[in-house]
Amino acid sequence: MARSRTAARTARRPARAAAPAAAPADPGFITVRIGKLPGRIDTIALNGGRKVADALAGANLDGNGHEIKVNAAPATMDTDLKQDDTVLLVRKIRGNA
Amino acid sequence: MSVDPLRHISVFPPHAFGARRVDVIGCGATGSRVVLSLANLGVENIHAWDFDRVEEHNLANQVFRLKIDPSLPDGEPLPDGTPNTDVGLLKVEALKHIVLGKTGVAIQSHAEKVDGSQPLGEVVFLLTDTMSSRKEIWEKGLKFKLQTRLAVETRMGADNGRIYALNPNLLDHIRAWEEAWYPDEEAEVSACGASISVGPTAEIIAGLAVWQMVRWFAVEEGGEDALDNEIIFGLRSTNAISRQF
């Protein structure tokens, strides 16, 4: 029976033992995306505190007059952050006219 | 005579939507576009509500016309003696003529302020200009009112917008929308104190608002989709977030 070239190469390839999964090293910091909407969104590292307030301070952003969203969900200054979270300050608007 | 839906019928089949009633409350920058977009889709039972008249400053950001018949010289009235402009007309009456001429759909126009006591339909677009009026209509006319199964509410800034699409009979939706409501005093306004209104931003918001109804109806028809109950976007830079309640 004819085999495809891919199948033939796979058949000749020696089997490898799966490498044991290494525990990820804790770098001591997390990175989060942060910005205003509308506005630019940057990535920053948090070395110490890992709350929204720490991220805003690290990004030099003032949350006054804005809603806070973490990964699109409502949040507060005390919300804990984790790696790759997105923190956004959203303007309060009302128009339609 | 009506618009041929052939090019969008696989996304929104107007014959299946049938005579479902759609109310559009507020016919300004967002609402006037929503009404026209619904009619273009083939929605026939549209009720438009607004008590305002068209003013000159509305022409830049709403669908109303500087000239109804552009072939006439400036200042010359229409053959029936009325002014050749939408300026001065009730918004809902001007919109009725625009929509009829563009799509063949005869909308129902209501030149009155909605306070929630008026009967509303299965789908309601809540597109007023103040947070207080939204809350009043929500409390009296939408919340736990079984006849309305989809409420779409929008908010517009100069370069950003919000679209809410929810079932006003579901507790999770009610709770989330009420948490997302804030008083007018907390909302941004322009330097002159009026709400900010930019036509291209209104185009995006109106399009997203109508899209939520299209998606809702697709689910009603057995399609696999789930509404984004909250969409927030910014245009400088271009970013958007969404969530489900």
Query: What totals of helices (H) and strands (E) does chain A contain, helices first?
Result: 2, 5
What are the tens digits of pLDDT across the range A22-47?
655 666 899 999 999 999 999 999 99
Output b/e per residue, B191-202; b: 16+ Cβ within 10 A.
eeeebbbbeebb
Chain B residues closer than 8 Å to A37 by CB? 160, 232-234, 239, 241
CA distance B174 to B150: 12
pLDDT above 50 (res A5) = no
Q: Which of A40, A93, A96 sits opposite B160 (nearest CB)?
A: A93
Beta bridge partners of A45: A31
Interface of A with B (CB under 8 A): 35-41, 65, 67, 69, 72-74, 86, 88, 90-97
pLDDT of residue B189: 72
The ipTM of this complex is 0.85
pLDDT of residue B51: 97
User: Phi and psi dihedrals of B52, rounded to 5?
Assistant: -85, 160
CA distance B91 to B27: 7
Q: Which of B180, B196, B239 sits opposite A41 (nearest CB)?
A: B239
Tally of CB atoms within 10 A around B216: 21
B108 against A7, higher pLDDT: B108
Chain A residues closer than 8 Å to B243 by CB? 72-73
Sign of dihedral through CA atoms A39, B238, B133, B129? positive
Strand order in the sheet with A30-37: A41-46, A30-37, A86-91, A66-70, A73-74
Query: What totals of helices (H) and strands (E) does chain B contain, helices first?
Result: 6, 8
Q: Report which of B118, B115, B153, B150 is spatially closest to residue B136, judged by C-alpha positions.
A: B115
Interface of B with A (CB under 8 A): 26, 28-31, 127-131, 154-157, 159-162, 179-180, 182, 184, 186-188, 194-197, 202, 205, 230, 232-237, 239, 241-243
Helix axes B29-41, B199-220, angle to 10 degrees: 40
What are the tens digits of pLDDT across the range B60-93?
999 999 999 999 999 999 999 999 999 999 999 9
pLDDT above 50 (res A9) = no
What are the tens digits of pLDDT across the range B27-40?
999 999 999 999 99
Is B111 buried (19+), middle (13-18) or exposed (0-12) by CB count in 10 A?
middle
